Amino acid sequence: MPFLGQDWRSPGWSWVKTEDGWKPFEFFGHDLRDNNKELDLDELVNENKENLHVADVCEVSAKKRRKDYVNNNTKSQFLYRERWIYVQKESTRERHGYCTLGEAFNRLDFSSAIQDVRRFNYVVKLLHLIAKSQLTSLSGAAQKNYFNVLEKIVRKVLEDHQNPRVIKALLQDLSSMLCILIREVGKSVLVGNINIWVSRLETILSWQQQLNNLQIPKQICNGMTLSDLPLHMQNNILYKFSDACDIINLGQATPTLHMLSEDRQLWKKLCQFHFAEKQFCRHLVLSEKGHVDWKLMFFTLQKHYPKKEQYGDTLHFCKHCSILFWKDSGHPCTANDPDSCLTPVSPQRFIDLFKF
């Protein structure tokens, strides 16, 4: 039985019944103008109502043109009313199909999450993990959302001059991965035209150039500065840092901060925060005086073991409902005690949820 509805895959042809059978008829083609006859659309429809459906074709073509225009010109993320997603790994009697990483990336509002300082590093880390291993598994819509979110992150860093180091590392790994995928096209599966991926690589290289040329202006402040605080307060601030690079960078600001950033106890606390005591014994580093060099030991341990991740806010997974969501947006939970069913989801755990 033929399909009589308006198929979105229609190429836009009209069909005319002739003595030799059905032939495609192009209303805007050159065949009509060759006879030097101007045909009225209403007249053409009235004469060939049974054989020619020009009005329907024009409507479908207009819809297709509007859809193509929106797809080619919009840079907004695909938005959904619900900011949660049901994580389904296999078909059941009640539900058929499964949830993919691309669907989750589309449904969860990462575009707004980057504006929250608590979630910024979480989203950047997630994009970093996707760039390293899951880029080819994204659908076309998920790819578009991925690069739209990435563009917003780059624009945000260029405007507020915050977190340029982590974005540079993300773009470096992403450009390296794209170079490998484009060079080995045919061996690896790339969803989309190769020219689109080449254009994306060029855009990433342009972003890298802009970040490399980023000049952070010196802020003129007439009030109290960090160096005006007492030594014990400056030392307490350094103890709150969990990133070694931040400690080193802050130590370059003033001679006093440099002295405080070299404190052995500070680096010992940092090692104890990120690594276990069993790992200390395997990679013990001693100084010339026989003391443990905790700073050098931290960077040695960093090469062998993953650091502890710390985020202000993360996605949460409800074990009762199997739903992934941002905690402030909530989800329709049917458990008696919803809070007892929630577990925070790290970026790596987010990736693992969609590995089948």
Band the pLDDT of 327: cuts 50, 70, 90.
Answer: confident
Question: pTM, whole model, 2 decimals?
Answer: 0.69
Contact of 57 with 6, CB cutoff 8 Å:
no
| Pair 260, 271: CB distance under 8 Å | no
The string of pLDDT tens digits covering residues 275-306 is 888 888 787 777 777 788 888 989 999 888 88
Pairing status of strand 342-345 against strand 14-18: unpaired
- For residue 31, pLDDT over 80 is answered with no
Statement: residue 247 has pLDDT above 70: yes
- The predicted pLDDT at position 62 comes to 58
**Among 152-156, 193-197, 217-221, which stretch is predicted with the lowest mean pLDDT?**
217-221
Distance CA 219, CA 222 (A): 10
CA angle 187, 189, 191 (to 5 degrees): 145
- Tokens representing 256 are 């006093």
pLDDT band at 66 (very low <50, low <70, confident <90, very high): low
From CA 106, how far away is CA 261, in angstroms rounded?
Answer: 42
Average pLDDT value for residue range 32-49:
47
Cα 143 from Cα 138, distance rounded (Å): 6
* Per-residue model confidence (pLDDT) at position 68: 53
Q: pLDDT by residue (tens digit) across 83-134?
A: 788 887 665 665 555 677 888 888 888 888 898 889 999 999 999 999 988 8
For residues 317-338, give the mean pLDDT.
84
Euclidean distance between CA atoms 263 and 52, whole angstroms:
85
Residue with tokens 């019944």: 17
The overall average pLDDT reported for the chain is 78
Please tell me the predicted confidence (pLDDT) of residue 14.
66
Q: Rounded distance, CA 149 to CA 126, Å?
A: 12
